[in-house]
Structure 1
Amino acid sequence: MGSEDLFRKRKARESAELKRKQHIRAQNKRYLIVCEGTKTEPHYFRELLDDWGIRQQVVRVAPNDGVSPDRVVAHALHLYNEDAEGGDAYDKVYCIFDRDKHTTFSAAVQQTKDLSAGGKPLEAITSTPCFEFWLLLHFGYTDQPFHAAGKKSVGDQVVQALKAKDGFKQYGKGLKGIYTGLKGRLNEAVGNAEKLRSHCEATSSVNPATDIDKLIATLRSLKPE
């Protein structure tokens, strides 16, 4: 058999293998979650993914590279581009960050919208004032705004309210087991977040608010049969 025939057969095998991988890839979308928090949010989502049997190959929770919203988006974009250059870009990239008192919040949200419009599927998943408000919604509905008072920041006020709930007296950043302890109330939290969104749209309010329920809905759709 000539070298030309061997070359053609090798190329045919490579082409067939590429098509096979592309077919498999089309059936299995990949998602990336990049959090502002270094511990609390990553722990929460990793526990949820493990509980729902969603593999890391499907949803990756990446370490952050800076805690301000603009840094979260920049790092998420870097990770997206890195994968795209390898020929297998993420189908969706979620940037999780808080409004809190960040000066780059609005610009970061707008940047994700601009990037998405340009074909790079980044989406901001935000909470106002902070992620802990999402946890608070597991205990009931509230649309009462939070504000800084005295030496307590707006985020401190949410944490104080959370610590008043059963099982959260010792709450602190980086605490593990939060998802596990609250998963029985997850549907209640989702319902409360949806109700709050309707309230915010009707009143043009942005405090409090959260989009975490939107991400939860996406992840729920990825649960194995």
Structure 2
Amino acid sequence: MPRDRRRASTSLKRKVAVRGPRKTVVVFCEGRRSEPEYLEALKREPDVKDAAAVDLRIERRATGSVPLTLVRLAIDARERSEREEGEIDEFWCVFDVEWPENHPNLREAMDLAARHGIRLAVSNPCFELWLVLHFRDCRAWLDNDAARRLRRACDGQVDKGVAGGSYMMGRHLAVERAAVLDRMHMRNAVMFPHDNPSSGMHRLVTAVSPQAL
């Protein structure tokens, strides 16, 4: 990784704005490819980079971590930002529930995040569901393998990589479909972690791209 990118990743101070107030978001990802590649494509979108004036940073050092570890990293980053008088507006963690066997310490991770103001974008069962929602509705329970097969059927991708640009035109539909899933589970009194399928990615996308609403 280039030296200047390492410095950009570790510094939590806001970059100098070139137009209007800027919203600064730090995102901690669980995945090694799909989530970072999708978010890299998202932050290049004009309504994120220009209209919304969002400085989205992806903390790649956290990739491959379990949810509780990600939340602790985000809390440490928030506390460091406050000590340095940084101006980070929001800290997010992106992770999965996983089925048939859930990630360990999911509830602890969510409770800890809530106490420290860390926002979460949790996909149930996995991030592939969020990708599927760019192409079609999905309201039936899925395990990880089924979600991945469905994702491959939608985009033809054979590995976990994401051609992020091909998803961007469909992200508004994905936001709407994920919000519908939230309402469906609420109406049926289905609580986490049983809210399968669901994805909180729609809240992250609308946080950095208000036009996605």
Identity %: 22
| Segments ≥4 residues shifted beyond 3 Å | 21-24
Q: Is the 8 A contact 2:29 2:63 kept in 1?
A: no
Which one of 41, 44, 58 corresponds to residue 61 of structure 1? Answer: 58
Amino acid at match of 1:137: L
Gaps of 5+ in 1: 1-20, 117-121, 147-153
Alignment of 1:10-159 (within 5 A): 27-52=21-46, 54=49, 58-63=55-60, 64=62, 66-100=64-98, 101-116=102-117, 122-146=118-142, 154-159=143-148
Gaps of 5+ in 2: 1-14
* CA distance in structure 1 between the partners assigned to 2:209 and 2:55 by the alignment: 13
Q: Is the 8 A contact 1:29 1:58 kept in 2?
A: yes
**Higher helix residue share:** 1
Aligned residues: 186
Amino acid at match of 2:56: V
* CA distance in structure 2 between the partners assigned to 1:89 and 1:51 by the alignment: 23
Which one of 158, 182, 185 corresponds to residue 171 of structure 1? Answer: 158
Which one of 179, 197, 203 corresponds to residue 214 of structure 1? Answer: 203
Residue in 1 aligned with 2:177? Answer: 192
Which secondary structure state, in structure 1, belongs to the residue aligned with residue 133 of structure 2?
helix
Which one of 149, 157, 160 corresponds to residue 160 of structure 1? Answer: 149
- The alpha carbon displacement at 1:28 in A equals 2.6
- The alpha carbon displacement at 1:107 in A equals 1.1
- The alpha carbon displacement at 1:89 in A equals 4.2
Which of the pair has more CA radius of gyration? 1
- The alpha carbon displacement at 1:103 in A equals 1.7
Q: Please report the RMSD computed on the Cα atoms of aligned residues, expressed in angstroms.
A: 2.6
Q: Is the 8 A contact 1:81 1:89 kept in 2?
A: no
TM-score, length-scaled by structure 2? 0.78
Which one of 167, 180, 195 corresponds to residue 165 of structure 2? Answer: 180
* CA distance in structure 1 between the partners assigned to 2:196 and 2:149 by the alignment: 17
Amino acid at match of 2:197: P
Distance 1:222 1:84, change over 3 A: farther
